[in-house]
Structure 1
Amino acid sequence: MDTGDTAWILASSALVLLMTPGLAFFYGGMVRAKSVLNMMMMSFIALAIVPVLWVLYGYSFAFSPGGNRWLGGFERLGLDNISAATAYGTLPEYVFVAFQLMFAIITVALISGAIADRAKFAAWSVFVVIWMTLVYFPVAHWVFDFGDNGGWIATKLAAFDFAGGTAVHINAGAAGLALALVLGKRVGWKRDPMRPHNLPFVLLGAGLLWFGWFGFNAGSAVGSNGLAGLAFVNTAVATAAAILGWLAVEVVKEGKGTSLGGASGAVAGLVAITPACGTLSPVGSIALGLVAGAICAWAVGLKFRFGLDDSLDVVGIHLVGGLVGTLLIGFLATKTNAGGKASAGLFYGGDASQLGKQAVAAFAVLAYSFVLTYIIGKLIDVTIGFRVDEETEVSGIDQAEHLETAYDYAASGGSSIKTGA
């Protein structure tokens, strides 16, 4: 075990953990004032539920060595057969357990943005448990487990996904699409103004996500090495380019670039570079970021054309951005970083075989996540009910679901001038 690798992955784990509170601010600022606490709590409950599931059986289902290509085994239930001296490559296995846990937490939290303003908190909590068990843990095994009995995408298909474009973003984006269809449109959608109530929150959240994403991507090198450095640089430049790409689309369409667009462009770039940050050059990462920022900016407007109330653009950013990043590996992967000409992208001397592998991985995860999520959402809806009633939605979900509000308007209102004798 290497102390340098251990120190870097521990630090990366902390960085990735910070992304979920960052997501809470990002999503919380984008909703209306009457539902900001509920939106933020949907992220925070993931911080409470997922670590318990991960220790009890999630890590075992994702990474236990006794499984098969589809699911891990039972040898790590309750983190059994692990001690402080157990190694995972150059790391203590507990460190790898902690790092992968943080990915699990934020993946399910990402889905919540698609159903903002209208989901029961208890129903969402039940969904987190079931979705993690049936969707995330198996998909994490497919993509992230490179062991002897590792996942079929990682070992048999050999598609590139450095840090989770399929397992995290396509997975969450497809799930968000399914839940948005199950819950339906918000009351007054397209009719009432539903603008972000706190854009500084949105920018703060985007900044925290970007900061944490360096652990997300560079930490996925699973060591303190040159590959981590490449992923770090690619994450920085692709995100910067995506902001420019998104703002360029806004300027063409509206004549101005917005702060919401800048923040959304940053997240789109982070999403797209996630699967590609270990196989692209920095110049290729700039190209990827520009394309992803522009395509995602265009994609978020399609929800109005198709009548899909994806409240906070989970589909337009995470599903579309994840697909862009995963598929463009087939064009932009370099010979050096991809491990040889056979795996290089079309623009670097490769053939179409790697693009085909990328497409199979992307659309297999998309289909699996969408179908199972739709079934899970429907079952919750017909049993305990997934959506709040119309009166609660209109008056404010925070008070009904959490017995509190984010802003005490009564305390700040009124006059200090005394009247009467």
Structure 2
Amino acid sequence: MSSRDVTSAQLLERLGRYHPKVIDLSLERVERLLNALDRPQDKLPPVIHIAGTNGKGSVTAMMRAMLEAAGLRVHVYTSPHLVRFHERIRVAGEIISEDALVQVLGDCERANDGQPITFFEITTAAAFLAFARTPADVCLLETGLGGRLDATNMVASPALTVITPISMDHEQYLGGDLASIAAEKAGILKAGIPCVVARQEPEAAAVIATHAEELGCPLWRQVDDFGAMAENGVMYWEGDEMLRLPIPSLPGPHQIDNAAVAVAAIRLMPLDVQVHHIGQGLTRIDWPGRLQRLEGQAPEGWEIWLDAGHNPGAAQVLVAQAESWRDRPLHVVAGMLNTRDPRPFVGPVGRQAASLRAITFHHPDSLPAAAIAQAARDEGLQAAEFATWRDALTDILAKEQPGRVLICGSVALVGEVLRDLER
């Protein structure tokens, strides 16, 4: 079958069948495949490798915006996607084309030769292949899960590493306490390569510092070495010097911290990015699904917002945002995957809301609305149950006074909303 006879969707579905029966976090499978592909990960432009629990997508989007404002060609690898898989792979500034995606996926399938490999591993190899075949000035690689044994960690010599805030997430794979999770994230550190470290809980900061000392990695730490504050519509960043910059275009007070990390990373790279490029980038950030307002979708007096946050750290961010939304009632629509305990998310977020509606969405791993509602009740909250996000929204608009609706709890849910609205 030629590449013209198959779509990327068909190929992606087929690649999922090679998934191992038992997932052991390991780099052996992806290393075997990359060797068969002549090691494309060694043929990339300078790499900034980003790990963390919260904010890594926002920080990556900010860095991309700054670099592209300077006229640089930027490869970007992120996951998961919202609407189409193609979003995960940006080749020299453009989302990968269907033809190019089919080509690299097909090449990876042939090189894998039917052997067990995870979906993320083989699609990461495809991204490396796409990046190696197109010239660019810099490559931004976001880890998928953890860091130490993440497929993106096959890049042996990044130019810079970045660790965004770490919180409890994916405990079944990364460990049951913050120190264990931080050790996995710190696995992206490389000997002698500098690392920008976002504000961390003390346990996580200690683990990162220990790993860095063992490897001789210079750390540039938020609070200790750089930081930012917003005042009167201006962001003041202080590190190697004081910069006066625009407020980031992504909403939410937490984005000031994310922007501080992104600016620090750009300042450490030996690239021709001037202060005005950084400022331009901060006003042009493209990162859908993160406190995204749905324009033109709400009746008069209403606002509808989406956020893909789903873990305790994301809950803290949404609680902080809700504090600035006291001018009108907030109604939360929550849908989550069954891989997560909903209580640490639904509890804090639900306590900020005038009402909470739990939903099931169209994903094989969607947590039933009844389970989310029960988790809310366990937290002392009331929650209604609905079959879809549209049903929940219709109920809110019919019964409540004008206010804000926040649809949140899963990247997959936000992607479903955006896909539904495209139809």
Q: Shorter chain as normaliser: what TM range?
A: under 0.3
Q: Calculate the TM-score normalised by the size of structure 1.
A: 0.25
Greater per-residue strand proportion: 2
TM superposition score normalised by structure 2: 0.25
Of Structure 1 and Structure 2, the greater helix share is in 1
The answer to which structure, 1 or 2, has the higher relative contact order (CA under 8 A, 6+ apart) is 1
